[in-house]
Amino acid sequence: MSHFLSNLADLEFNLFEVHGLDGYLGRSSDLDAETARDLLREVDRLAHGTWAESLIESDRQPPRLEGGEVKLPPGLRAALREVIDGGWDRFGLPAEMGGMPVPHLLSWAAQELLLGANTPATFYAGGPLFARVMFEEGTPEQRDLARLMIERAWAGTMQLTEPDAGSDVGAGTTKAIHVEGDTYHLEGVKRFITGGDHDGAENIVHLVLARPEGAVAGTKGLSLFIVPKWLVDSDGQLGQRNGIFATRLEHKMGLKGSVTCEMTLGGAQPCVGYLVGGKHDGIRQMFRVIEHARMTIGTKAAATLSTGFLNTLRYARERSQGADLTRAADKNAPRVKIIDHPDVRRMLMLQKSHAEGMRALWTYTAWVRDQAEFDPAWSSRADFLLPLVKGYCAEKAYELLSTSLQVLGGSGYTEDFPIEQYLRDAKIDSIYEGTTGIQALDLFFRKIVRDQGQTVAQLASEVLDFVKAGGGEDQLAEERELLGRILDDTQAHLGAAVGFLFASKSDPPAVYKAGLHLNPLLESIAETVIAWQLLRHAEIALPASDHDSFRAGKVASARFFVRHVAPKVAARRAAIESEDGSLMQLSNDAW
């Protein structure tokens, strides 16, 4: 039996009932609603087969480095072949690249299924993302190379991080030496490169940030280069090996099937790179990849929590232990399923409400991105939501997968259940593609302050409209009131942070007071959006909830989530309003 359990019903509910995908499918594709549903079910079938089966194998028998080449376990290679043979690697790509164009909402729904079943395999199949950036940013010759990547199912990587330049990307020292035209020789070492080398594709095309000789310091001096593992002849055939090699593999806590490489450029032989688009605009170009990667990680985290919860739920329904709490003193009382114990039920609803809440968050974000395709006014909201998806889902999924394991008890700590691997695989989500702290800084300084609060104010106005909606017979009246309190507390938290920032103009250390509470601010804003979306779901589900268990569960999730998070948001507000900055004044020796 596959470790992977999907929630196709909730995915379809989000896509079609909440966001009305069937109403705008025709704007960007030739699909109708039934075909879209069929495609989603086919991806679900694929995810449950060879794709999911190879996840455990790749953890127990991870890729290995032999003679400068990375060898994947056979199950991973078979899974990749199945996706390529089915043409699923082209799902969501523009038609002019040979792809199947679909809305972001449908594309990310497919991604949730694949990421939840086998994240490493999904990463290896990520070449089309890099090809798309090359196609849309590149010269005519580079656009041809991008088409070739799709046609031949080549893989790709993004290479930013260096041994002494992690989150501080602008500190990178990899240099680019001009040869002629758009051709450069790159020299340096990159670290933590996902899929830096492997035998799952005949070629890998790397997108590498490097600093041309004489360029300014910091991120503004970085340029983006196309660096194929195998150089490509003018007729599209593979030529000689390029001078970029995996020189070490990281031995990791989890996600072992996804090889993480140290890459040496220009060591034994020249590493040839081609300037993307023939212009020095590297950080903007690379951020197109980074933003997609951040959405991927948030969706991955949500998907992992979802399958973790469903595995736990199945166990709780089957496992008998202990008497009902009402008969705890009766030694002859029958044993009950552990789902009937109050604390187990509490832990299950924590997982259920957050798994559905995270799916609500990323589907809403994907829907907003679809709107931005036709109305640029939506772009700022899509940008605003991205750090919430990445930061909140990454942190909360790991936290709640620990709860999944707790429900399983001792069995959860063994390899009999996938939760222990899920936990190990999920921890990286809050670290790479920008730590949660970096997401919080991005949210506050770039998405709120730089925007002068316009986007967050518009979003808050919509939440407030929902709070005020509903008539005298409204069954969600109490939950709307709680959402109003959550919104008030979150806005007060934000106001306090902005106040500290303004105070720092005359008192620079005042900015520390804001900085100490930006991660909690990200949590509160994310939970405000999730609570709003889940109550929207409940509003849709309520009419049939008395005879439809799925819809009854949707209402229960929304009610539980709002009640659970309201006190936490209030506590975070109280914490920033009482902040005195003393933590930043503590001597380093006092630790």
Among candidate residues 433, 479, 527, 539, the one labeled active-site is 433
Q: Is residue 429 included in any domain, yes or no?
A: no
Within 132-182, strands assigned E span: 155-159, 175-180
Question: How many folded domains does the chain comprise?
Answer: 4
* Whole-number pLDDT of residue 234: 87
pLDDT tens, 462-492? 999 999 998 778 999 999 999 999 999 999 9
Q: Is residue 308 included in any domain, yes or no?
A: yes
- Note whether 276 and 350 are same-domain residues: no
Answer with the one of 280, 301, 330 that is the final residue of a domain: 280
**How big is the CA angle at 15 (ends 10 and 16), to the nearest 5 degrees?**
100
Q: What are phi and psi of 24, to 5 degrees?
A: -135, 15
We report the CATH number of the domain holding residue 335 as 1.20.140.10
Kindly state the DSSP code that residue 461 receives in the 8-state scheme.
H
- Note whether 23 and 77 are same-domain residues: yes
We report the CATH number of the domain holding residue 65 as 1.10.540.10
Answer with the one of 263, 280, 297 that is the final residue of a domain: 280
- Of 483, 470, 473, 580, nearest to 530 by C-alpha is 483
We report the CATH number of the domain holding residue 188 as 2.40.110.20
**What does the alpha-carbon distance between residue 512 and residue 528 come to, in Å, rounded to a whole number?**
25
**Domain range for 466:** 435-584
Helix%, strand%, coil% for the chain, nearest 5:
60, 15, 25
Contacts of 415 (CB under 8 A, 6+ apart): 421
Residue 337, helix vs strand vs coil: strand
Mean pLDDT by 10 residues, the chain (591 residues): 93 98 90 96 96 95 93 95 92 93 96 97 95 97 96 96 89 96 97 97 98 96 98 94 96 97 94 97 96 97 98 97 94 95 98 98 98 96 98 98 97 96 98 96 98 97 96 90 98 98 97 98 98 98 97 98 98 98 95 93
Q: Let me know if 433 is a catalytic residue.
A: yes
- Note whether 273 and 288 are same-domain residues: no
For the residues of 98-116, what is the DSSP string, one character each?
A: T-B---HHHHHHHHHHHHH
H or E element in which residue 355 lies:
helix 342-374
